[in-house]
Amino acid sequence: MKKEMKPVHGVWASRWVFILAATGSAVGLGNIWKFPYITGDYGGGAFVLVYLACILIIGIPVMTAEIMLGRRGGMSPIHSMQALAKQAEAKKSWSLIGYMGALAGFFILSFYSVVAGWALYYVFKMPTAFAGATAESVGATFDGLLAAPYTLTAMHFVFMVMTMGVVAFGVNKGLERMVRIVMPLLFLLLAILLGYAATTGHFSDGLAFLFTFDFSKLTSEAVIVAMGHSFFTLSLGLGAIMAYGAYMPREMIVGGVKKPVSIGSTVLIIALLDTLVALVAGMAIFPIVFANGLEPSAGPGLMFVTLPLAFSAMPMGVLFGTLFFVLVVCAAWSSSISLGEPLVAWLVERSWNRVKASVLIGVLAFVLGMGSVWSFNIFAGAEYKLFDRTFFDLLEYLTTNIMLPLGGLLIAIYAGWVMKETHVRKELGMKNFKLYMVWRAVVRIFAPLAIAVVFLNALGVI
């Protein structure tokens, strides 16, 4: 480890700030936009059950492992993994986890910004466009947006500047203050929306769709998507949470006494909040779908056609609707920052200036994002598709369903098999020995096996 590779990026002010920042990273488009639409695509209940199971038995243990590696490494994922491998006298090639993660983060950032741009557009559209809206008119508005590459590009550009702007300033400063305000407000607005959905008369249809487990609908494709999404929604598998973990203090002064900051309970809170937001978003969106005769499988536009409908029918809907999309943008913002941070932190540790590094990553991700912008218009035709998927679809599939679980698999194996157990125990500081043994068994055997089985199954091998 070179001398200058100290944690130059700062430390979170408290454990709660870490929880807010990590929850800010986890709660994003994945919860509010993607979870409802893929649940619709894959038929509802059984998919939700597999997703919940993946969160519980793979996601939570892997997140614990990822934060632990980050806190021990104390640097960007690439350098942390290099330093850790050295410490454990393991092969240098374990830093592959960091490199692959950085690439996946870069890919995700490129299309995440495009979708966040849609929400940004709706912030401006909400006050004027949806008075007296019908299912057809909101659908036409969304289709119109997708058909307008310049508008999409402009929104994508603004969102990318917002994201890399915060990263350029350092995560502590802007982000800490932002998430303190935004996250509670987001919860409040979701509750209001849920309240409205409950009055549509179709609330129970929505619940039935989400929670009736019809396993005949469950394909191997659905299982791999559910698992991929459990990684995506918890921000796992690419080092984002590892980078955040690097800024997590080992000890905190609580009431004048120094206390160790435990990772396990922190992870539980983050996972719980994240899951809650996804389920509430689903419970808010599906009743509106059924009340308006829409299709649950409407695809990526689901949120953008259901919510304007709901808001246009609600008293003060313009206000709430606008506010809601502002918050979706903020939720996406606090997530996208964690996609850019690992890469920028890595460059900064290689003596780059933080601002320059942020601009470089931002420009590159913006350019790659144009492929996703055009996937909905210029390159939407069948002649531009590969395996019946657009560029956007391919990038999303590759990152979420392959790179993230693969990253998670390697992280679990590293934490379970390669890292010295004394180091693991010290870093985790778990007091409950039985619980520790359960976690260890999961990261050593169960999680890698489960991920491998899902992969092989999707490939048609088993």
Between 130 and 232, whose beta carbon lies closer to ligand TRP?
232
65-73, 129-137, 233-241, 261-269 -> range binding ligand TRP (CB under 6 A): 233-241
The answer to whether 171 and 76 have CB atoms below 8 angstroms apart is: no
User: CA dist 421 to 58, 62, 417, 418, 446, Å?
Assistant: 20, 16, 9, 9, 18
The residue at minimum Cβ distance from ligand TRP is 30
339 touches ligand TRP (CB under 6 A): yes
Tokens of 39: 């649940």
Q: What's the min distance (Å) between Cβ of 31 and ligand TRP? A: 5
Q: Pick between residue 285 and residue 309 the one whose CB is nearest to ligand TRP.
A: 285
Contacts of 150 (CB under 8 A, 6+ apart): none
Single residue of 232, 324, 376, 391 touching ligand TRP by CB under 6 A = 232
Residue 233 makes contact with ligand TRP by CB under 6 A: yes
Residue with tokens 């144009």, as numbered in its chain: 370
**Residue 114 binds ligand TRP, judged by CB under 6 A:** no
Q: How many residues lie near ligand TRP (CB under 6 A)?
A: 16
Q: Which stretch binds ligand TRP (CB under 6 A): 10-18, 28-36, 38-46, 187-195?
A: 28-36
Chain positions 359 to 378 lying near ligand TRP, rule: CB under 6 A, are: none
CB contact at 8 A, 14 and 255? no
Which region, judged by CB under 6 A, interacts with ligand TRP, from 38-46, 73-81, 229-237, 303-311? 229-237
Residue 405, burial from CB neighbour count under 10 angstroms (0-12, 13-18, 19+): buried
Task: Please say which residue, 274 or 427, places its beta carbon nearer to ligand TRP.
Answer: 274
Region near ligand TRP per CB under 6 A, out of 24-32, 59-67, 358-366, 408-416: 24-32
Q: How far is the CB of 50 from ligand TRP (least distance, A)?
A: 17
Residue 327 contacts ligand TRP per CB under 6 A: no
Among the listed ranges 151-159, 230-238, 264-272, 358-366, the one in contact with ligand TRP (CB under 6 A) is 230-238
Name the site residues for ligand TRP (rule: CB under 6 A): 25-26, 28-31, 108, 232-233, 235, 238, 240, 335, 338-339, 404
